[in-house]
Structures are given as C-alpha cells and as structure tokens.
Amino acid sequence: MNAIHELSLTALAHALQTQQLSARQVAEHFLARARQHAASQAHLASDMAPSGTADPAHPSCGAFLSMDEGYTLAQADASDQRLQTGQARPLEGVPIAHKDIFVTQHFPTTAGSKILAGYRSPFDATVVGRLNEVGMVSLGKLNCDEFAMGSANENSAFGVVHNPWDHTRIAGGSSGGSAAAVAMGLTPAATGTDTGGSIRQPAAFCGITGIKPTYGRASRYGMIAYASSLDQAGPMARSAEDCATLLSAMCGPDVERDSTSLDLPPEDYCTHLNNDIQGLRIGVPKEFFAKGLADDVRDAVQAALATLVRMGAQLVEIELPKTELSIPVYYILAPAEASSNLSRFDGVKFGYRTKDYKDLDEMYQKTRSEGFGAEVQRRIMVGAYVLSHGYYDAYYVQAQKIRRMISEDFQRAFSQCDVIAGPVAPTVAWKLGEKSSDPLSNYLADIFTLPASLAGLPGMSVPCGFGEGHMPVGLQLIGNYLKESQLLNVAHRFQGVSEWHTQRPGSPA
C-alpha cells in the first residue's frame, strides 16, 4: 500500500472500511504531517514572506490556522469503534480540514481576520455537520484571505500561504490554505468557498481538483458571509471522483436555516462518473482565449481540449460577450453586499474590541479600523459608496442589470453546447508580493471565473498541465444549472487518460 497521504480519498475510505487501516492511525499520520508543515512554514515565513505579513513563530503562516489533536483523535477513536462493530458510515474515519470561513464548535473560527480572534461558535456550519454525519474526522481549520476577500491568500491577518510547488509564489485565494493543504498531502480533502473563483483559482494554482456547485446546492448556514448572493461552498480534493464523493455528502436542502438553499433532494454525483462523452459538445468562448492569456496557459488548456476531442467530444466556438464586464460588475455587487454583511463586526457582541476608547462611536471606529485589514476596509468603503444615495441607481442597479445579461449570455451559449471549457486564470501563480500594491491587477486575475459566479452556474478546475516555472495549470469546466454530474463526468473521464492530477510537489524545504 502507498503511504497514507498518497492515497486518494476514495482509496483511503476503502482501506478504512476493510480495516486495512485504522482511523486513529490515519489521523495520527496527517496530524504529524501538519505539525511538520507548520514548523517548515515558520522557517519559510522568516526567509520569504513579505515584510509584515507573517509571524515566523506562528504556524498559521502556512496552511493550518488551528488544530485540536485531542478532539481529532477522539473522533477517530469513535470511528474505529463503528468500523469494528459494523456501524460504519460511508466516509467513516476519513480526515478532512475546513476553510476557516465555516463556523465550528470544536475549533476557533476567524475567517482570516483579527476582528474574530478568539471566537468560538456554539454550532457547526451545515456543510461541516453533514461531513461529520458521514463519518469524516476533522483535522482543523485552514487559512484563507480575510473574509474570503482576495485572489492570493496574502490578505489573511495570520500570514500568507505559500504555493507548495514554489514557496516564493502565491497559493491562490481565497481558499489558498485548502488548496495548499490538499496539494501537499496534509489532508486528503478540504472544504472551500467560491464567491468569484475562490475554489477554482487556488485549485488551478496548486494542481488539485475543486468544484463550485450551482448556487444554492450547498447550504450557506454557518458560512461567514462575504457576498450572500454569490458565496457557495464546495469540495477540494485530488480528483473528480473524490470531489463527487464529497459533494454528494455536502449538498442537499437546508431551507429552514438558509433562505438561499435549493429545495432539491440530495444527489449521488458518483453515479454518472463513467458515462461516455462521445458526442459531447464543448463550448470554447473566444473571449477566454483573447489577448491577455499567457501562452503557457493557452498551450496547456488547448492540449487538454485536444485530449477531450480524441475521446469523442467536439469543440464548438461560442461567445460570452459580457466577459470583460464581469470584473466591474462583481467589484460593485460583492463589496455592496460585504458592506452590509460585515456591519455586524463592531466589537460589541463578539470578537475583537479595541482597548482604548472614550465613547461608543470611538469604540466602533477603532475596533473596525484595527480589526479589519486593508483589503476588507477597501471593499467595505466601495460597497458603502455604491449603495449611498445618489449612486445606488448609477452603480448598483446597473450592475444588477448587467449581471442578468451575463446569465442570458450563458443560456444562449448552452443552446449550442453541453459544457463550456477554458482556462481558470490568465497566468500561473505569481510571485508573493508581486501584486500586493496594485489591487486592480489582482482583480483582473479573476476574469475567467467571475462570469460563472455571477450567473450562479457550477464550475470546476481540473489539473491539465504545467506552465512557466513548472507551475500547475487548470482547465475550467462550466455547466448549466444543476449539471454538476455532467462536469464531474467530463473531469473524471479526462483524468482517466491523463496524469496531471496525480503529480505532487516536493516536500517542504
């Protein structure tokens, strides 16, 4: 048998069900790897992190923000008892780690922000609870951009996440901790959230698989809100098969607690993984291959499309003419919703509170100024501006109209094709600090992921090659509403004839 951390989630689940491995043995193995990674990342932080972004003595400058070995091993021991007594659940004893945007009873929840330092939730997010119910063991919480605002995982109050393929580069954001942890074999799977590409982009940059389901498929209850009409949870793992298994457990109606939850029965996304893709129409938007796409990314994506053609699919050129408008639309709508959602963090009820203040107004001002990072403050200010009297109609209402047009563009495209394919990002992962002083260049990197998010469509990233500096490239697949099974089928069949998803970065220096 391969080393435990080299097993896929599916293989690991089988080894546990057949008692070739014990849940405690598996948990101890991953906890030891996480400890080793934390020590290594402390060294990296002192050598490579941009000044002021990481504390070399704190393990949070890597993928993990918090662990509780006692709780994790207690979960594992309970799983072992069920495995031995024939009461095992589908993913009994399989470890997982959670993006620190999901609230959890047994681990702190910070959303990558100083303003939530020390916060403990009295309940688990629905997604976390559902994964617990199928027997998964929680390893801990993973780093992310503060309140999921970022494309590089450089905005966390607790330090940057380094890309495991090249420690001088970003891991992507905002689910960078999740992507890096899976890529390095610190966990077989992780949860992530995607508001404008925050599952797909870090998955592409770190060479793993990740999927954002249709908006409303996964409950948002207990997921700290950034932009409520866009935020969606999804799994990040090594393969499409692993993601299908996880997505089946994560999704389902939660209408009593989440008003945006779709009232649809759970679905087994593994059922159609091996369907033939002969005759599948793959739409290729010309806007995704225009000026600005790096040659190395273009070559890898086109090679992947050629592979799918050899498997029986056919390429159809389509148009998504509002692609360029997705950036201004997103960066009006998302900050507007954030300015409302983040108003609850004021130092009164929970989280950080400034130590020195004279009155309530000063306490609010200083708490939020000290507790929120620069990018969060920037987006709150933008959001408050576009919602203010005199600008609401000029910016927010117009952005909502264009959002509807973007959705209509997709529906016209799906009348010509079954699945849309293209790059996840215009380039491979860039160097740490390279775009920190220019927020707009960071925003532009989301151009290929934002349209599907604005339309509420499912999308995923599949490893498809390497570019400059031997950095991973991701193929983006976008489906029509509720077509997650079809996306996972295409990805699984592609991974059946390619080995990009099996490639692993070296151990941390």
The residue to which tokens 């609230």 are assigned: 103
Residue 387, Cβ density class (10 Å: 0-12 exposed, 13-18 middle, ≥19 buried)? middle
> Which residues on adjacent β-strands are paired with residue 281?
314
For 62-218, list the strands marked E by DSSP: 64-66, 95-99, 137-142, 162-163, 166-170, 189-194, 209-212
Q: Are 281 and 417 in contact (CB under 8 A)?
A: yes
Q: Are 284 and 316 in contact (CB under 8 A)?
A: yes
d(CA 121, CA 141) in angstroms, rounded, equals 13
Q: List the catalytic residue out of 60, 79, 138, 174.
A: 174
DSSP state, residue 270: T
> Which residues on adjacent β-strands are paired with residue 285?
318
As given in the structure block, the two tokens for residue 484 are 């997650």
Q: Give which of 227, 231, 124, 112 is closest to 177, Cα–Cα.
A: 112
Q: List the catalytic residue out of 99, 141, 322, 435.
A: 99
Q: Are 138 and 124 in contact (CB under 8 A)?
A: no
Q: Give which of 489, 424, 498 is closest to 461, Cα–Cα.
A: 424
Q: List the catalytic residue out of 40, 151, 198, 498.
A: 198
> Which residues on adjacent β-strands are paired with residue 191?
235
Tell me which amino acid residue 168 is.
Answer: T
Q: What helix, strand, coil percent values describe the chain, rounded to 5? A: 45, 15, 45
| 99 labelled catalytic | yes
Q: Are 67 and 95 in contact (CB under 8 A)?
A: no
Q: Parallel, antiparallel, or unpaired for β 64-66 and 137-142?
A: antiparallel
The residue to which tokens 């699945």 are assigned: 419
d(CA 131, CA 191) in angstroms, rounded, equals 10
**3-class secondary structure, 55:** coil
| Residues taking part in catalysis | 99, 174, 198
